[in-house]
Amino acid sequence: MASDTQAEAARSPSGERARPERQFILTLSRIWAWVFLILLIVFFSITVKATSGGDVNFLTLRNSQNILVAITPVLLMGLGQTFVIISAGIDLSVGWVMGLSSVISALVVVDLVAKGTEVAIAIIIGFAAGVGAAAIVGLINGVIIARLKVPPFIVTLGMSFIVRGAALLFSGGQTIAGLPPALRDLGNDSLLYWIGGDGGGLHFLTRPDVTGAQLRALDRILPWPVIITAIVVAVAIFILGRTQFGRHTYAIGGNRDASLRAGVPVDRHIIVLYIMSAATAGIAGCLHTARFSGGSPIAGDPLLLGSIAAVVIGGVSLFGGEGKITGTIIGALIIAVLQTGLVMLGVEAFWQFIVIGTVVILAVLIDQSRDLIIGRMETG
């Protein structure tokens, strides 16, 4: 009798024979983005060097830092999207919220400096105003979604038009200029500088005063926007993975009704999620103002879909209840590596959209296939 029971367990999908297969599928679905990123880097390292006759390399210190700078706004918007999508929501307003934050922060800085306020204080107040304005938009989104039960897609789509109009109205349809050099330095200086060749070396904090060949050999390491983004990412990872707030976010996305019965303050939680989503977009807008020394109302418009794509590629389920911040980081890196590599290969811009769209569909298919295969295994 015992031997018959053991044989049945071995044949069963829940038996020992099925468990390694299920675990393999789960592991493969989680690491495919990492593998794909590594393959992309290897592919572009080979092809860029080959097509340039060996004169240009893809995998260089300068190029890696440029990629990190390029992903900061997409990643910041993606962080908020990660929380919202895990809760089974969506935020289509973050692109224009980023533009509104860029405009508000620039206007406040320019106004305060003109009134004689110390530059550092003006920048701090300006950034606070930009993020605060963004958070107000998120509050409105959250209240309408949570209290009035309007679908997130409709609310945030409508809000994107409202915020777009506000950003263009406040800026007069123009980029806000006249910002102090200190703000430009914040957006473009780095923690470390490296000068290659003879007489070069590593410089900490202070950008070396060089010209000519040494200027061309100067590489920035860890620009301030990257460091600020890394801090926000670390906080987001901690909140989602180590706090009750993060557990409630997963619970709401997995089963909203069960969360309500378990005593989770669902409505209040959803409001906070949309405030967070808008606030991270606001931080991206402020960093855009610093990097380009101007407040642009259209700063985030082309980045909205990229932020959602990064979240999806990173394995966050659009149905809610599943996903990690590290996945969004990998998704943003994949998009940035793809765009940078295609540009270095001389591929026309519209092909970038086609390739990224294909990767997004592939990511969703992998997620769907995993659930389908595991479901079939468990039902025999």
Q: What is the pLDDT of residues 125-170, one digit of tens each?
A: 999 999 999 999 999 999 999 999 999 999 999 999 999 999 999 9
Residue 1 binned pLDDT confidence (cut-offs 50, 70, 90): very low
Top-confidence residue, 26 or 225? 225
Instruction: State mean pLDDT over 197-215.
Output: 69
Residue 121 lies in a domain: yes
| Burial group, residue 358, by CB count within 10 angstroms (0-12, 13-18, 19+) | exposed
**How high is the pLDDT of residue 212?**
65
Residue 7 binned pLDDT confidence (cut-offs 50, 70, 90): very low
**How high is the pLDDT of residue 98?**
97
pLDDT, tens digit, 9 for 90 and up, residues 32-78:
888 889 999 999 999 999 988 777 889 888 899 989 999 999 999 99
Domain count, the chain: 1
Residue 119 lies in a domain: yes
Residue 94 binned pLDDT confidence (cut-offs 50, 70, 90): very high
pLDDT, tens digit, 9 for 90 and up, residues 255-279:
999 999 999 999 999 999 999 999 9
Residue 341 lies in a domain: yes
Instruction: State mean pLDDT over 105-127.
Output: 96
**Structural domain range at position 53:** 34-378
The 10 Å CB-count burial string (b at 16+, else e) for 207-218 is: eeebeeebeebb
Residue 18 lies in a domain: no
Ranges 108-112, 205-209, 246-250, 354-358: which has the least confidence = 205-209
C-beta separation of 219 from 193 below 8 A? yes
Mean of all residue pLDDT scores within the chain: 87
d(CA 171, CA 83): 30
Instruction: State mean pLDDT over 327-332.
Output: 93
**How high is the pLDDT of residue 24?**
67
Residue 19 lies in a domain: no
CATH code of the domain in which 85 resides: 1.10.3470
DSSP secondary structure of 113-173 = HHTT--HHHHHHHHHHHHHHHHHHHHHHHHHHHHHS---HHHHHHHHHHHHHHHHHHHHTT
**In the beta sheet, which residues pair with residue 202?**
194
Which DSSP symbol is given to 207?
P
Q: Could you count the other beta carbons within 10 Å of the beta carbon of residue 135?
A: 21
Residue 303 lies in a domain: yes
Residue 68 lies in a domain: yes
Kindly give, in sequence order, each residue whose CB lies less than 8 Å from that of residue 132, ignoring residues fewer than 6 positions away: 282
Q: Measuring CA to CA, which residue among 107, 109, 132 is closest to residue 122? A: 109
